[in-house]
Amino acid sequence: MTIPAARRRGRPRERVLDAEAILDTTLTVIRDAGLKGLTMRVLALRLGVSVSALYHHVPSRAGLLANVQERFAEGLDVSGFGNIPLREALARWAWSYLHQLRRQPELVPVIVEVPLAQAPRSSLMYQRVIAGFAVAGWPEESTVASMSVLETFIFGAALDSPSPDDAYEPQGAEHSPLLARSYAAFSQAVEDQEARPRDLVFSMGLEAILTGLHSLWGSGRGWARAGAGMRPDA
Amino acid sequence: MTIPAARRRGRPRERVLDAEAILDTTLTVIRDAGLKGLTMRVLALRLGVSVSALYHHVPSRAGLLANVQERFAEGLDVSGFGNIPLREALARWAWSYLHQLRRQPELVPVIVEVPLAQAPRSSLMYQRVIAGFAVAGWPEESTVASMSVLETFIFGAALDSPSPDDAYEPQGAEHSPLLARSYAAFSQAVEDQEARPRDLVFSMGLEAILTGLHSLWGSGRGWARAGAGMRPDA
DNA sequence: ACCTGAACACCGTTCAAGT
DNA sequence: ACCTGAACACCGTTCAAGT
């Protein structure tokens, strides 16, 4: 890191910034200091400019995060759809989705909260997934909801990523032998599978969802049964 | 709202605050102004005290949020476990969980991020759920992970709550007839079921997960199959 | 012990002044 | 057009001074 050359007051002869460079540095800062650590001052410091210089290339901090979301969607693995069996293509997509969210858990709120309207490139990703369902012969009415179910599960799985692996350890276990035994049994399975707890939970949930969805839409009962889980008191 | 009587400088004759009152007002503020809107200044203003007075009853803003999490766990419906069929008890619990998160979506990060170590009362809730699995005869090694899968899905479902119902509407649909048809078919199902899109997705996911988990652990193959969804390239 | 008021070290955003 | 520096209206937290 060289000491940035002091810049005089007016417009420099060569342009110093562009949106791309700002985005790159944004991701680095988020990785290093988290979303809360992403401040315009820190960003400016890393880029060697003044804070207000950023506003010539990015409308606001929120606009910056929309760019983050766009780049994220392009990083997901949709290569399986149409090329390998759907179940494997979905697993590949889901794991890449989770993996990318886990690599930067601080991005989860960004991905979830940025409206799709501000991220047109993200919908290209969705097209690939839906097309995968269609090619595999799933009824058209089932595909959007099925994808949403998977995405919902993935978001949830990404949420507890910051927590340590022993977050499953109960607090008041000494007061409940059953709870203690259950956690011990789960820990044993984790050991046997040579996996991390959260990975085992994710793979089990993924397997259950894919199996469940298939049974739902293969049974020919469709929404009649898919809606069976409606809230009792709704 | 009466104009608060001006308070003199020293210790008042009667105590003005306590942790319970602060928690009540905290929830009100979060409901009105969101988590970002929860500032110590706003909180103090609503309570009619100075900002620094809060620190006599609460260690920090984070400590305040731990209290929020504790109260949340006590509001979940675990009444079904041990009393009605497990599948229905789980559905009741899951819907109450989701419903409470949806009522205050801003609470999601609080619930997820506050370490269980700081919320001992939350683990009482988990005990009830695990006991429900046990009574229904599920293998001990399956219960913790099964509950986690459900919780993961619930968290994910709560995340997109702030987004409007038409968030499922694609952006570039005009470029993809398939995507347009799929969304239309889903919308039709929503109309037929007289449900909101996100409710339909949740009930479908819940149904799929319960069916899938049952098939997983009823097949006698247990983790061997539950682990089948492991990341291909892991 | 419990409250007030002032202070400290931060934020995101705006804008006149410079080239 | 594009950068700087100062300003504005906010944060959470601390602490001496008061009763």
In the block, tokens 């409007």 appear at: B164
In the block, tokens 């003005």 appear at: B16
pLDDT confidence bin for B220, thresholds 50/70/90: low
pLDDT of residue B96: 97
How distant, in Å, are the alpha carbons of A176, B51, B193 from that of B182? Answer: 49, 53, 17
d(CA B193, CA A7): 64
In the block, tokens 């799985």 appear at: A157
pLDDT surpassing 70 at residue A225? no
pLDDT tens figures, B144-161: 999 999 999 999 999 875
B48 or B106, higher pLDDT: B48
Ordered DSSP codes for A127-174 = HHHHHHHHHTT--HHHHHHHHHHHHHHHHHHHHTTTS-GGGGS-SSGG
pLDDT tens figures, B166-213: 555 665 555 678 888 998 999 999 999 888 889 999 999 999 999 999
CB–CB of B229 and A215 under 8 A?
no
Of A102, A97, A105, which is closest to residue A30 (Cα–Cα)? A105
**How close does chain B come to A153, measured CA to CA in Å?**
5
CB–CB of A193 and B223 under 8 A?
yes
Entry pTM: 0.86
pLDDT surpassing 50 at residue B111? yes
Of A148, A170, A214, which is closest to residue B153 (Cα–Cα)? A148
Q: Are B153 and B208 in contact (CB under 8 A)?
A: no
b/e code B55-66 from CB counts within 10 Å (16+ = b): eebbeeeeebbb
d(CA A17, CA A2): 17
pLDDT tens figures, A102-126: 988 889 888 887 766 667 777 788 8
How distant, in Å, are the alpha carbons of A108, A144, B179 from that of A80? Answer: 24, 18, 18
Q: Is the CB of A176 inside 8 Å of chain B's CB atoms?
A: yes
Which residues are within 8 A (CB) of A234 and not within 5 positions of it... i.e. 6 or more apart?
B95, B199
3-state secondary structure B147-190: HHHHHHHHHHHHHCCCCCHHHHCCCCHHHCHHHHHHHHHHHHHH
Q: Are B193 and A227 in contact (CB under 8 A)?
A: yes
Residue B190, φ and ψ in degrees, nearest 5: -60, -45
Q: Are A160 and A198 in contact (CB under 8 A)?
A: yes
Q: Is the CB of A201 inside 8 Å of chain B's CB atoms?
A: yes
Q: Are A120 and A173 in contact (CB under 8 A)?
A: no
Closest CA in chain A for residue B191? A223
Q: How far is the CA of B37 from the C1' of D10 (A)?
A: 12
pLDDT of residue A3: 47
d(CA B146, CA A209): 12
B233 or A123, higher pLDDT: A123
Residue B30, both tokens = 């979060």
**How close does chain B come to A117, measured CA to CA in Å?**
7
d(CA A43, CA A211): 46
